[in-house]
Structure 1
Amino acid sequence: MQTLWTHISEQSETVTTSAWTLLVLGVLLSLSIVVDTISRRTALPRISLLVLVGVGYALIQQGLLGHDAEPLNGLREPLINLALVMVAFLLGGELTWSRLKSTGPLIIALSVAVVIGSLVTVFAGLWLLGYSLVVAVSLAAISVATDPAAVSEAVAESDEKSDSKSDAKSDEKSLVARVILGIVAIDDAWGIIVFGLCMALLSWIGATSGEASLVHTVWELGGAVLLGLALGFPAAWLTGQLKPGRPTQAEALALMLLMAGFSSYLNVSALLTAMVAGFVIVNVSSHHTRSFNEIEQIEWPFLVFFFVLAGASLKLAHLSTALGLVGAYIVLRSIGRYLGGYLGVLAMRRREPRLKTNIGLGLLPQAGVAMGMALLAAERFPEQGQLIVATVVTSTIIFELFGPLLVKRVIANPGKSDAY
């Protein structure tokens, strides 16, 4: 018995990195089952609970164990990218021609209003509070991005719990949900454009290579569109050739991996690539629902890793220096989203009178795209980098915890008072 215990102890000391990674992945998926059970019995969204799991991971790792290794080692970035690609692909599939004809102008007008509201409010507020131009402009540009994964998951949860009756109120809920998903589907495209232009502006002001920054922005967007078309059209043709089942699932997963891999290799926006591909497939293929259904079936485990890793990104060492800026950014971004949505709905009141002016509160969640922008800003302006990254990561956790609750509330109560 003693020999067996000694052997087990020796083996535990030599556990490989791959074995530890597999164990962590298994534990996270097991916890997601517990989270789902708690969510069904309470009013708390699964997203918020998963982010809290990630925060707990960060507290144990950095606070108790005293080290700050990257969660899941080298798997963190691929898992996040793949989850975001899946979400963006499904959101692109929401943009059918018929839907664009009926709600397209409305979605574009509201998205522009929310973008301008966020950008102006965050920049003006931080500038008046005395923060540097780099911090104010960078965070204003980052504030434009929305987390498509959190919003779409909150909408899905709201649909699951909504009544199946086809009355006026349910139609109103459906309209609000469609408009929010439509805005999110193009919101990150606006975010990438705004962020690239803001970085170019800061580079010109700082007498660095503004031209190179502008070229990079054009390539990131234009290259993403070209890549989405290049992958979307063959995938649309292939979708009609395969029968439902395992081959279709393999085809759908292969497309997700190709989009994530090629966009990373070519340094273009993976989100925009996936949205363009989804848009092409849904409008070209006669069997488009097969690929989207398969992605919906396998999407959840990747979203589990995404949300947990978002919470695990919290850096306790930089938290104290950024608390004031975090508070200001959260308040200003919330005001900007609300004001943008309020003014946008008022401007489009004649076209769609059923929308309420609180719709901007359904666009508060923020995660992977914002974190990526923060890292890019930190690389370009290293003297302000830690402050920007700490602010975005910490505020992201807050937005991921409370944002989905507001998304569900906006959708569930479209006909109630706008006051919140």
Structure 2
Amino acid sequence: MDSTIIIEVVLMLFFSILFGRIVKIFKMPNVTGYLIAGLLLGPSFFNLVPSSMVNGFKVISDIALAFIAFSIGSEFYLSYFKKVGMAPVIIAIAEAFGAVILVTVTLIIFGFDVKLSLLLGAIASATAPAQTIMVINQYKAKGSLTSMLMSVVAIDDAVALIAFGFSVTIVKLLDSSLNSNLLLSILSPVYEVVISLVIGALIGILMKVVFRWFKKPSNVLCITIAFVLFTYWFAEFIHGSPLLACMALGGMLVNIFSDTDKVIKISEAFTPPIFMIFFAVSGAGFEVSALPKIGVIGLIYVVMRVLGKIAGSWIGGRLTKQDDKTCKYLGPTLMPQAGVALGLIIVAESLIPAYAPQIRAVILCSTFIYSIIGPVATKLALEKAGEIVIAPKQKSIQC
């Protein structure tokens, strides 16, 4: 292995631990410290992790996202969904389309191109679960808001893919030069969602069968890593959604295998350094110099997306008769944006290449802003809702 990579890993781990501690002084979540550590190590400041090396850590990012998605899925107990019914789905649709509508309409009102507005609006629907889950795990949050949040951020990815598919179809209808199959444009995101859920569920069944013959913790850990990573890779290979597939894997396993809690607990011994490096790399990938370039369109996007999610989650909560704290505090926890949103940039740029630099600048810069503000907003919302039950000072170093 290149010695440069080794020292970069060492630096990211040490700096992440250090800044994870420093931000606690200001009552901020660990994940914010990891992002700041990466930002300082990256090209924007000390350049100890140059931009040329950030892409080299993609495999770490994939592993981290796979396990975060698996962890989310493992909270999908059928008993919970029997209790709450369609509420998480309705709220996820409401908050996603709240962001779509507010971003799209506001951009059009301010005179921006309709196709650009539609695509940015659709991308705005996506919510990244990674930072939210890290905050929940760090503070051991529990309650009706936390349970609904876990469900909504998982379903949100599927809603975002479908919303983007419809926006792509409208953009193609508006632009005669985009000569392609409109039916395929509509069905493509549906295929992506369905095939991912099927893959995850089937592999979950197979995983349970394998666990019958292996009980030793070290074997359980190795099998879990192998199955989670295979699910992520296979979903990507057949053009599905790796995150949804890993969520489905966790969801299937938790409902058919009684020792899923043991599996999750064992895997937690493996994931902390992976998560630290993942968020540090995310921080290193941000370019502070790009922030002034987003202009009015970026400001509109950042503000309207948040307002849309707050309004949408409140409306969805009221429609499904959720308690007041869920209606009031769910929206602010849905700020983080990465993963799916960053992937959709490529599709958007291919549809309207003239606006490619603008799209990339807006999404990347807004992702940076949400990454810093989002975890803090999530922590404050969970505190206000009374669902943070263990003070951070009682905890040892965590990821």
Moved more, 84-93 or 238-247: 238-247
- What pairs up with 1:152-163 in 2 under 5 angstroms? 152-159=133-140
In structure 2, how many angstroms separate the alpha carbons of the residues matched to 1:115 and 1:89? Answer: 22
Aligned equivalents of 2:55, 2:315: Cα separation in 1: 45
2:257 corresponds in structure 1 to 285
Q: Is the Cα–Cα contact under 8 Å of residues 239 and 291 in structure 1 kept in the other structure?
A: no
Indicate if the aligned counterparts of 1:149 and 1:303 stay in contact, CA closer than 8 A. no
Work out whether residues 240 and 286 of structure 1, in 8 Å CA contact, stay in contact via their aligned partners in 2. Answer: no
In 2, the alpha carbon distance for the partners of 1:313 and 1:265 equals 25
* Matching residue of 1:11: none
Q: Percent identity?
A: 24
Is 1:133 equivalent to 2:102 in the alignment?
no
Contact 1:110 1:345 in 2 (8 A): yes
Distance 1:324 1:306 in 2: 31
Gaps of 5+ in 1: 1-16, 163-172
Q: 1:326: how far off?
A: 1.9
| Selected match of 1:178 from 137, 147, 158 | 147
Q: Which residue matches 1:60?
A: 45
Rounded to whole Å, the distance in 2 between the matches of 1:319 and 1:37 is: 27
The match for 1:381 is 352
1:99 offset after TM fit, Å?
Answer: 1.0
Match of 1:47 among 6, 28, 31: 31
Number of the residue aligned with 2:396: none
Residue type of the partner of 2:130?
A
For 1:79 and 1:213, the matched residues in 2 are separated by 31
- Count of matched residue pairs: 383
Quote the Cα distance in structure 2 between the aligned partners of 1:267 and 1:299. 26
Shift of 1:85: 1.4
Tell me, yes or no, if structure 1 residue 404 matches structure 2 residue 375.
yes
Q: Identify which of 346, 370, 376 aligns with 2:318.
A: 346
1:295-332 per-residue CA deviation (whole Å, 9 max, x = no partner) reads: 33322222222222222233456544323222111110
Alignment match, 1:36: 20
- Which of 228, 231, 234 is 2:203 aligned to? 231
Deviations 1:63-88 (A, max 9, x none): x79x9743344332x22222111111
Task: Output one character per residue of 1:68-122: Cα deviation in whole Å (capped at 9) or x when no partner.
Answer: 743344332x222221111111111111111111224222222122112111111
Query: CA 1:375 to 1:315, structure 2 compared with 1: closer, same or farther past 3 Å?
Result: farther
Residue from 108, 113, 119 that aligns with 2:94: 113
Name which of 49, 53, 56 aligns with 1:71.
53
- Map 1:154-233 onto structure 2 (within 5 A): 154-159=135-140, 174-207=143-176, 208=178, 209=180, 210-233=182-205
Partner in structure 1 of residue 365 of structure 2: 394
Q: Give the C-alpha shift of residue 232 in structure 1.
A: 1.4
Q: Distance in 2 between matches of 1:110 and 1:315?
A: 34
- Tell me how far apart the structure 2 counterparts of residues 115 and 364 of structure 1 sit (CA, whole Å): 11
Which 4+ stretches in 1 moved above 6 angstroms?
none
Q: Work out the CA distance in 1 between the residues paired with 2:281 and 2:175.
A: 34
The amino acid across from 1:188 in the alignment is D
Give the structure 1 partner of residue 62 of structure 2: 81
Cα offset, 1:271, TM superposition: 0.8
TM superposition shift of 1:124: 0.7
CA distance in structure 1 between the partners assigned to 2:198 and 2:277 by the alignment: 29
- Is residue 43–residue 51 contact of structure 2 (8 Å, CA) maintained in 1? no
Give me the whole-angstrom Cα distance separating, in 2, the residues matched to 1:44 and 1:288.
31
What residue identity is the alignment partner of 2:125?
V
Q: What's 1:92 paired with?
A: 73
Deviations 1:341-382, CA, capped at 9 Å, x for gaps: 221222233x54563423211111112222112233223332
Match of 2:11 among 15, 27, 39: 27
- Matched residue of 2:311: which SS? helix
Q: How does 1:245-264 map to 2 (within 5 A)?
A: 245-264=217-236
Preserved CA contact (<8 Å) 1:126 1:328: yes
Bigger Cα displacement from structure 2, 316-325 vs 121-130: 316-325
Question: Is the contact between residue 315 and residue 390 of structure 1 (CA under 8 Å) also seen in structure 2?
Answer: no
Q: Please point out which of 300, 305, 310 is paired with 1:333.
A: 305
- Tell me the C-alpha RMSD between the 2 structures: 2.4
Task: Name the CA distance, whole Å, in 2 between partners of 1:153 and 1:68.
Answer: 26
Q: Secondary structure of 1:58's partner?
A: coil
C-alpha distance in structure 2 between counterparts of 1:370 and 1:53, whole Å: 23
Distance verdict in 2 for CA 1:31–1:317, change over 3 Å: closer
Higher alpha-carbon Rg = 1
Query: How big is the shift at 1:401?
Result: 0.7
SS of 1:60's partner is coil
Say which SS state the counterpart of residue 201 (structure 1) adopts.
Answer: helix
Deviations 1:242-282 (A, max 9, x none): 21410000011101220222122222100111111111101
Deviation digits for residues 372-397 of structure 1, max 9, x if unmatched? 12233223332211111111111111
**1:225–1:388 Cα change, 3 Å:** same
- Structure 2 Cα separation of the partners of residues 412 and 37 of structure 1: 20
Q: How far apart in 1 are the matches of 2:6 and 2:85?
A: 44
Aligned to 2:295: 323
- After TM superposition, the score normalised by the length of structure 2 is 0.89
Alpha-carbon distance in 2 for matches of 1:233, 1:131: 49
For normalisation by structure 1, the TM-score amounts to 0.84
AA aligned to 1:29 is L
